[in-house]
């Protein structure tokens, strides 16, 4: 088997494609798609998003230092793509995608009602990197859509059919392949 050397680039796929909601603090809010996002710390809970300076929402984040990461699903794929290719300068993305902004609990930016999870964030640091700036943010609140809670009040994200982005294409997540620690878990003997 042989391998080819390619020029340096971002080939870390798949990644979550999330809808980030923002507000300017003066009554205007917007949605945009981010595929460069991730968990960066568990205590305190922190996440990051990387955003181009020319994005309409960039200025809103700079002003309020807040945003909400809304997880996406198979059902939200069209809206996720649309919010990534249209600008809030010219378009009311909420109206065009038929998404519903609802009040968040800890930040001014709204949460998307149709999203299974809203992660409310407060920016702690901005790192200027080149084409994108990375906003490091503390998670100050998480809301979950109750329709994905089972009879024991366990949140079942798989029921929402989450989706991911991979090199220009969207995919729904498939079958479970294992659980954390299954590779070292002791086998139960049948009696």
Instruction: Please write the tens of the pLDDT for every residue from 22-45.
Output: 999 999 999 999 999 999 999 999
Classified by CATH at the fold level, domain 15-172 comes out as: Pnp Oxidase; Chain A (2.30.110)
Tell me the pLDDT of the chain averaged across its residues: 94
CA distance 164 to 181: 23
The domain segmentation of the chain, as residue ranges, is: 15-172
Task: Report pLDDT digits (tens) over 44-83.
Answer: 999 999 999 999 999 999 999 999 999 999 999 999 999 9
**178: confidence class by pLDDT, cuts 50, 70, 90:** confident
**Closest Cα partner for 148 from 171, 173, 115, 178?**
115
Name the percent of the chain lying above pLDDT 70: 99
The predicted-structure confidence for 161-173, as pLDDT tens digits, reads as follows: 999 999 899 999 8
- 89-118 tens-digit pLDDT: 999 999 999 999 999 999 999 999 999 999
3-state DSSP percent of the chain in helix, strand and coil, to 5: 15, 40, 45
- Residues 116, 67, 84, CA angle at the centre, nearest 5°? 70
């Amino acid at each position: 088997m042989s391998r080819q050397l390619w020029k340096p680039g971002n080939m870390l796929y798949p990644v979550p494609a999330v809808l980030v909601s923002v507000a300017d603090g003066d009554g205007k809010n917007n949605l945009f798609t981010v595929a460069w996002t991730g968990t960066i710390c568990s205590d305190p809970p922190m996440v990051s998003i990387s955003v181009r300076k020319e994005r309409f929402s960039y200025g809103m984040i700079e002003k309020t230092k807040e945003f909400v990461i809304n997880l996406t699903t198979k059902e939200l794929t069209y809206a996720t793509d649309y919010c990534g290719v249209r600008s809030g300068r010219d378009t009311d993305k909420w109206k065009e995608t038929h998404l519903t902004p609802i009040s968040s609990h800890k930040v001014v930016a709204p949460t998307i009602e149709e999203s299974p999870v809203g992660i409310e964030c407060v920016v702690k640091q901005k790192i200027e990197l080149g084409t994108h700036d990375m906003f490091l943010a503390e998670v100050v609140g998480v809301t979950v859509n109750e329709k994905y809670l089972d009879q024991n009040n366990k949140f079942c994200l798989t029921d929402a059919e989450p989706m991911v982005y991979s090199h220009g294409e969207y995919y729904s997540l498939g079958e479970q392949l294992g659980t954390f620690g299954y590779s070292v878990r002791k086998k139960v003997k049948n009696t």
